[in-house]
């Protein structure tokens, strides 16, 4: 049984139709990437999964249960955690306080110890007394991921985690996320940095204008330069 399944999902921003019969299937402990150009519907898909944007048609099941009509809080309490592109840490709280607040907010699930997060994110251990507003973009992103992981998610949704980060910070983030995906957490990641996403993921979906354009393994996609050119505008050297 799949962990997450979207079946012919149609989503709307107000009266604007933005997702068209979208189908996504993710197995337990799998890392899947959702690819597409800006405006293709990637972030909208994640927000629909979390209930932020209600779907009007189609079904969404999580671990066998229909969550199509559930609230944002109900979906979160099931173990679906979103790390948004905007990061949304508390700027006036320290790193340690940010993680403690996230731990205290965990409902219906046994949270992980804060000290365990410092083992996964040693850079945060060094910064535990620094306030969120004083962190670099990469440090804020790592804190945002740590805040989600501390709530023991079954499904971690990462929305454009490398957006706005310097290349050296992207490398550091990759190292951390590589360790995260080894911890029996199912991950769905959206990314404009195609190389980054394909290095982490096992399977990929490409969406275009809110609809499925292609799905398959990362190995298959890396052999399809036509798809990379048509939907992702990636040059041949980037796909190697």
Q: Where are the domains of the chain?
A: 1-79+187-240
- Dihedrals phi, psi of 48, to nearest 5 degrees: -70, -40
| Confidence grade of residue 236 (pLDDT, cut at 50, 70, 90) | very low
User: Is residue 81 predicted with pLDDT exceeding 70?
Assistant: yes
Look at residue 237 in the predicted model and tell me its pLDDT.
Answer: 37
* Nearest partner of 149 among 122, 118, 195, judged by Cα: 118
User: Is residue 184 predicted with pLDDT exceeding 50?
Assistant: yes
In angstroms, the CA 38 to CA 216 distance is 21
User: Is residue 96 predicted with pLDDT exceeding 50?
Assistant: yes
| Number of CB atoms found within 10 A of residue 29's CB | 15
Average pLDDT for 222-228? 92
| Confidence grade of residue 200 (pLDDT, cut at 50, 70, 90) | very high
Average pLDDT for 138-165? 92
Owner of token pair 């990641």 = 189
Region class of 202: left (phi > 0), else alpha (psi between -120 and 50), else beta: alpha
User: Is residue 239 predicted with pLDDT exceeding 50?
Assistant: no
Contact (Cβ atoms closer than 8 angstroms) between residue 163 and residue 192: yes
Average pLDDT for 10-33? 93
What fold, for 1-79+187-240? Rossmann fold (3.40.50)
The overall average pLDDT reported for the chain is 91
Region class of 87: left (phi > 0), else alpha (psi between -120 and 50), else beta: left
Average pLDDT for 10-25? 92
- pTM higher than 0.85, yes or no? yes
Angle in degrees, 0-180, between the axes of helices 137-149 and 167-180, rounded to the nearest 10 = 10
Buried b (16+ CB within 10 A) or exposed e, 218-227: beebbeeeeb
Average pLDDT for 26-30? 95
In angstroms, the CA 30 to CA 190 distance is 14
Average pLDDT for 44-59? 92
| Confidence grade of residue 177 (pLDDT, cut at 50, 70, 90) | confident
Average pLDDT for 46-71? 93
Look at residue 209 in the predicted model and tell me its pLDDT.
Answer: 94
Average pLDDT for 210-214? 97
């Amino acid at each position: 049984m799949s962990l997450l399944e979207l079946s012919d999902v149609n989503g709307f921003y107000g009266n604007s139709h933005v997702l068209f019969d979208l189908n996504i299937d993710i197995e337990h402990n799998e890392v899947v990437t959702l690819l597409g150009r800006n405006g293709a519907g990637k972030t909208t898909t994640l927000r629909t999964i979390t209930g932020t944007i209600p779907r009007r048609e189609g079904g969404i099941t999580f671990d066998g249960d229909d969550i199509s009509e559930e609230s944002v809080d109900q979906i979160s309490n099931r173990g679906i955690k979103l790390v948004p592109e905007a990061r949304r840490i508390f700027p006036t709280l320290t790193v340690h306080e940010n993680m403690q607040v996230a731990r205290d907010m965990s409902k219906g699930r046994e949270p992980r110890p804060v000290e365990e997060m410092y083992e996964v994110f040693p850079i945060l251990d060094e910064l535990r007394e620094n306030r969120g507003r004083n962190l670099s973009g990469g440090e804020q992103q790592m804190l945002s991921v740590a805040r989600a992981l501390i709530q023991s998610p079954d499904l971690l949704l990462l929305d454009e985690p490398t957006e706005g980060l310097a290349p050296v910070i992207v490398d550091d983030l990759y190292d951390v996320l590589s360790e995260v995906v080894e911890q029996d957490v199912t991950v769905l990641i959206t990314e404009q940095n195609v190389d980054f996403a394909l290095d982490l993921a096992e399977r990929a979906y490409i969406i275009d204008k809110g609809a499925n354009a292609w799905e398959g393994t990362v190995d298959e996609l890396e052999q399809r330069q036509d798809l990379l050119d048509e939907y992702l505008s990636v040059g041949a050297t980037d796909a190697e």
